[in-house]
Amino acid sequence: MFEGFSLDRIELPEATLRVRHGGSGPPVLLLHGHPRTHATWHRVAAVLAEHHTVVCPDLRGFGQSSKPLDTPDHAGSSKRAKAGDCVALMRALGFDRFALVGHDRGAYTAFRTALDHPGTLTHLAILDGVPILEALERCTEKFATAWWHWFFFAQPERPERAILADPDAWYGGTPDLMGPEAFEDYRRAIHDPATVHGMLEDYRAGLAIDRRHDEESRAAGQRIRCPTLVLWSLRDDLERLYGDVLEVWRPWTTDLRGRGIDCGHHMAEEAPEELASELVSFLAPP
């Protein structure tokens, strides 16, 4: 897994991140989702590293990265705080500008990075997500039924107790799908109480401070300035919830493209070759 990559712990102004990085060429930062670690990218990263310098961190609060202090507003787990980590991490590695790919919860951090640091990104790829504000404002019985976990995870204490009673049963996953090493890395994360809490704080921030940041960005007329690719899993529920996923993103972007991929939610594990091909094409110089 990640042959030829380095594995480091990099201290940043507000967090210490576990980071895998390798390859050469224009930089691309890959952000995982819940409940994964950076290891979810290992098959995709191997392909991208033929053309790019690839950087895969555990997000703050996730995996073996540091856990932010709890505060009533959940600011330490906000996407704004994690976006700051992204910029600081890439600068620590020598890159002032970079491409950014985010899946699931990582997509929200990627989106916030594009809005808060508009001169930093060369390209943005969003995988299986719409802006948090859009999801909440479009919330219907269908959304609440399918995505009930958003609201459960935002409750205090009870989600941790439920998950940690049997993390394997709660989250699932198999070594055949994920790869043996990635699966073991993931299992270590979901069995660690501090990491489970850190992951849930990401959801608590989502329904509070992150929503407010999205509202402020929309009121200010902010839009993503770099080319944006949106990919979604056809066997997941974005199309069922929103119909034309690109129409949800159009008001937030200036240069948009995308399509569905025939796989389930964890596309880096279920369709790594197709996903890597899409990303290589998108990131290629004109």
Residue 266 among the catalytic residues: no
With b for 16 or more beta-carbon neighbours within 10 A and e for fewer, the 173-186 pattern comes to: beeeebbeebbebb
Determine the Cα–Cα distance for residues 210 and 198; give it in Å rounded to an integer.
Answer: 16
Catalytic residue among 51, 117, 191, 265: 265
Buried/exposed 44-61: b ≥16 CB within 10 Å, e otherwise? bbbbbbebbbbbbbbbbb
Q: Taking the CB of residue 150, how many other CB atoms lie within 10 A of it?
A: 17
CA–CA separation, 192 and 115 (whole Å): 32
**Catalytic annotation on 104?**
yes
Taking the CA atoms of the chain, what radius of gyration do you get in angstroms? 17
Q: Catalytic residue, from 85, 104, 202, 210: name it.
A: 104
Query: Greatest CA separation found in the chain?
Result: 51
Asked whether the beta carbons of 214 and 132 are under 8 A apart, the reply is: yes
Cα–Cα distance measured from residue 125 to residue 55, given in angstroms and rounded to the nearest whole number: 15
Bridge partners (DSSP) listed for residue 233: 261
So which residues are the catalytic ones?
104, 265
